[in-house]
Amino acid sequence: MTDLNLNNTIEHLFRNEYGKVVAVLLRKYGTSHIEKIEDAVQDTFLKAMQVWAFKAVPDNPTAWLYRVANNALIDMLRRQQKSSSLEESTPKKDQMGGSEEQVLLDDVISDSQLQLIFACCDPTLSKEHQIVLSLKLIGGFSNKELAEALLKKEEAVAKSFTRGKKRFRNEVQMLKIPVQMGLQSRLFVVLRVIYLLFTEGYAATSGSQVLKREICYEALRLALLLQKNKYCNHPNLDALIALICFHASRFDARLDENEELVTLEHQDRSKYNQELIRIGIQHLETSGTDNKLPSSYHLEAARSFYHCDAKSFQTTDWKSILYLYDMQLRQQYSPMLALNRVVSYAQVHGTKKALDELKLLEAKTDFGHTGLFYAIKADLLKELQDSRYKDILQKAIDLTENELIRKHLTKKMKP
């Protein structure tokens, strides 16, 4: 296996398996050992890169990763002379099945992940700590990715994780699902975590891929898993599932045969997955809010549906999409949402008015380190045949860490 292929395999496995292994080990040994569990799992992935460079990737990499991490954790506990703690925290056979194979069954992994995500959303933790812990432990997010998702500095994210982890270790226990109540009180934060997990997969902030399908499908799997629990039935969950399905239906159209980015305007709509669109419509239709205001998930799902339903970019119902943006911004203002709104605003009111709108937005929000802001501004200037667009576009390129998006923006430098 070449170094590139190995790195891609490790990255894929890290995204898919990190949260699973952490969740199972936390379920097995308890939250008091969270730092040691993190260290053991991270060391295991480093070991995998070394071992698999000379040997083939095992047929069941999850089992290999779990076994090595579990053994490393036991060694850590023994070295620190905590055999009594180890004995107390190791489950009995009737709790975990008594064998590695049983531990790694899909339902055990799923239960462990749900337990972990609900535990991370314990009400004794602040909302910021809840989200940071969840995305770090379940999604394996880097500080950079979390900073982008939460619009915070990396240093702030790192401090938040350290503080949140300390409280998690000392005050939180893994939740028993579905026996223990209190799920509904944590549901909204859990949905937010799943949403952020999906959005990072749908528009990766860094790396060589613009789309990380395994993260997106993991988010969808967790959302569908929630729906099986009677305490989690809520209109917002149906709306979130619809949102994910509508966005995921366009996966095959977002990249061309050369694995290069294809913008919405030039996508082959025959590649849209009609089955996912059908499932999305079904969930959106059953997500009634009983005359209450629709959630942000409802509004974003509806916007995405209009894109899926349109026969072409030009015939898209941009007025309805803009209306949905405006409604969401009135409910809960977000600078990034306002920035994305400018694209549909241009389709409804024209490029010049959209540029004026962007200037108003720039006056009240610091987008100095946001590549998307400069990318949108460059597109508007180019449409107006303003030669300054190249300088603005270069700023977008310089601020973009995703290699595929940077390549796409660089192609736009050509007249």
pLDDT-based confidence at residue 95 (cuts at 50, 70, 90): very low
What does the pLDDT average to over 264-272?
95
Question: What are the sequence ranges of the domains in the chain?
Answer: 1-104, 111-232, 234-316, 338-415
Given a cut of 50, whether residue 268 has pLDDT beyond it is yes
Tokens of 118: 């609900």
Q: What is the pTM of this model?
A: 0.81
pLDDT-based confidence at residue 81 (cuts at 50, 70, 90): low
Beta strands in 310-384 (DSSP E): none
For CA atoms 168, 172, 176, 177, the dihedral sign is negative
pLDDT-based confidence at residue 115 (cuts at 50, 70, 90): confident
* Burial bucket for residue 285 (CB in 10 Å: 0-12, 13-18, 19+): exposed
Among the listed ranges 82-91, 124-133, 152-161, which one has the minimum average pLDDT value?
Answer: 82-91
Given a cut of 80, whether residue 56 has pLDDT beyond it is no
Name the class of domain 1-104: mainly alpha
Angle between helix axes 335-349 and 371-383 (nearest 10 degrees) is 10
What is the per-residue pLDDT across 332-389, written as a single tens digit (0 to 9) for each?
999 999 999 999 999 999 999 999 999 999 999 999 889 999 999 999 999 999 999 9
Q: Beta partners for 261?
A: 255
Nearest by Cα to 170 from 124, 104, 231: 124
CATH of 338-415, one of 3.40.50, 1.25.40, 1.10.3470, 3.30.9: 1.25.40
Rounded Cα distance, 147 and 153, in Å:
5
Average pLDDT of the chain? Answer: 84
* Burial bucket for residue 85 (CB in 10 Å: 0-12, 13-18, 19+): middle
What is the per-residue pLDDT across 306-337, written as a single tens digit (0 to 9) for each?
999 999 999 999 999 999 999 999 999 999 99
pLDDT-based confidence at residue 15 (cuts at 50, 70, 90): low
Q: What count of Cα atoms within 13 Å lies in the side-chain half-sphere of residue 383?
A: 15
Q: How far is CA 147 from CA 14, 207, 355, in A?
A: 19, 15, 27
Q: How far is CA 295 from CA 211, 243, 287, 290, 348, in A?
A: 25, 12, 10, 12, 24
